[in-house]
Amino acid sequence: MAKKKLFIVGNGPLLSDMSEQVDAADHVIRFNEPKASIGMSGTKTNWLFVCNTGKPMERRLKDPKYPTSPIVQAAEFVFLVSHPTAVQKYSLKPSLWARIKGRRAEWTWASLTMYGDAGKTVAILPPDNYEAGCLELGLDLSVLLDDRTFPTTGYFGIRYALERMPAETWDVEIAGFGWQGWQNHTWDQEREWVHRKAEERNIKIWPAGEDWKPKYAKKDRYSRKK
């Protein structure tokens, strides 16, 4: 029996138009708010994994166009990757002044409301999923905040999918992952992890264009919550 095709589309630039390949897949996964691949990766979206923490989610919540964007509208299921319990234990917290101005460490309830109003079914990944994912990358949970090191939404989405779509019945293609950006993400560990998985099962990793807009953390805006 022929295997099914899982296509995982990251938010990095693509080298060519992959719309036909992506939309023809049996299952398509995307992340957050795809921009670099718009017009080059189709619109089919079965699962949309979203970072529901910090400034990126705050920006999405304030953008009235985001819930009506083609990818959100196409998504059959939305996953929030950061459970509030995990955020409390392992994520950066806004400073007192930032909280006074309205900043939040996580926007879980607001995210549930926004995606629900858009007609989406939403799930929150459990806190032990975050911990297990960190450990699989070789991270020490006791020093995550001290080291200011955090896995990406893409990593958690890929990991979740591979655990539930066995190699015996699914082939996998991954595109739009350049493993670069915000300096506090675990890019090197995640790249190595994906390539190890590709040696264990049939995963094709398409080369990605260079991300020319790295994002750097502004550490003075955050503090650890005592």
Whole-angstrom Cα distance, residue 79 to residue 174? 19
For 225, residues 6+ apart whose C-beta sits below 8 A from its C-beta are 88, 93, 105
Structure confidence at residue 70 as a pLDDT band (50, 70, 90) = very high
The CATH code of domain 4-221 reads 3.90.1480
Structure confidence at residue 77 as a pLDDT band (50, 70, 90) = very high
Assess whether pLDDT exceeds 90 at residue 200. Answer: yes
**pLDDT at residue 132 in the model:** 97
Assess whether pLDDT exceeds 90 at residue 225. Answer: no
Contact 72, 204 (CB under 8 A): no
**pLDDT at residue 211 in the model:** 53
Strand partners, 9: 175
Neighbours of 66 (CB within 10 A): 16
pLDDT tens-digit readout, 108-149: 999 999 999 999 999 999 999 999 999 999 999 999 888 888
Give domain limits for the chain. 4-221
**pLDDT at residue 216 in the model:** 36
Higher pLDDT, 56 or 100: 56
